[in-house]
Amino acid sequence: MQRSSHITGYQLRAKDGTIGRIEDLLFDERHFGVRWVVIDTGTWLPGRKVLLPPNALSAPDTRAREYPVDLEKDQIKEAPGPASDQPVSRQMETDIYGYYGWTPYWYGGFGYPAPGGMVPAGAVPFTAPVLPEEARDMETSDPGDPKLRSATEVTGYHVEATDGTIGHVEDVMVDETEWAIRYPEVRHLGAGFSGSAHGRPFEIKGLGWQTAWQGT
């Protein structure tokens, strides 16, 4: 289990060199599965962000703070992806999965290859697999909004209980085995109390995008 703030900053190394560093994690607000790792490519591909499913990453080298990726730089360079200020749409997700020949997570999870597609080393299905009826809904839903949220964005959000404000999100805890957000780390604001606490995602009622994370 790692804080998202610890994962960000790790370098990603392709077969033939470094491609950049992890800038953010994008998670599905319904299942709390981490769907994309956002990579800042720096001076290699100026003005571009690279998106990779987190299970495309092999086991990290914690001393070097680096994740190996079983891809070559030219493959990554030619892949579709957003500009630095462009949101991730469902069509963009579809294009990325199609380019690499991987089955999208809404059809059973990353790790199950499309015909003729490749599977990165160590790939396993995501936690909380999407059900068939949900996959159909996701495919036909608004193509501009796949319901992804940024781990960096939610940091600092207020946490509201039924009877008032609890505190704010200080970080989110990520299970790297299944690439899922397990709970937010909350900094309490109550009088006479200082410290952090953890709230499980299944106890969270909803995410209000006026900087409030509503919990039970």
β-strand partners of 204: 215
Structure tokens given for 62 = 């914690």
Whole-model pTM: value is: 0.76
pLDDT for 128: 42
pLDDT for 95: 92
Where in the chain are the domains?
2-149, 153-215
Structure tokens given for 178 = 């299944």
Structure tokens given for 181 = 């957000």
The whole-angstrom separation of Cα 120 and Cα 37 is: 15
The pLDDT tens digits for 43-60 are: 898 888 899 999 899 999
Q: Could you tell me which residue, 55 or 139, shows the higher pLDDT?
A: 55
CATH superfamily of 2-149: Photosynthetic Reaction Center, subunit H, domain 2 (3.90.50.10)
- Listed in sequence order, the DSSP H helices in 8-115 are 73-78, 90-100
Q: State what percent of residues in the chain have pLDDT above 70.
A: 68
The pLDDT tens digits for 69-124 are: 999 999 999 999 876 667 788 889 999 999 999 888 887 655 433 334 344 443 43
Mean pLDDT of all residues in 194-215: 50
The whole-angstrom separation of Cα 80 and Cα 89 is: 12
Other C-beta atoms closer than 10 Å to the C-beta of 101 total: 13
The whole-angstrom separation of Cα 30 and Cα 51 is: 20
The β-bridge relationship of strands 212-215 and 158-161 is: parallel
Please determine, for residue 67, whether its predicted confidence score (pLDDT) is greater than 90. Answer: yes
The residue type found at 210 is Q
Give the gyration radius of the chain's Cα atoms. 18
Q: Of 143, 137, 106, 141, which Cα lies nearest the Cα of 31?
A: 106
Q: Which CATH class is domain 153-215?
A: mainly beta
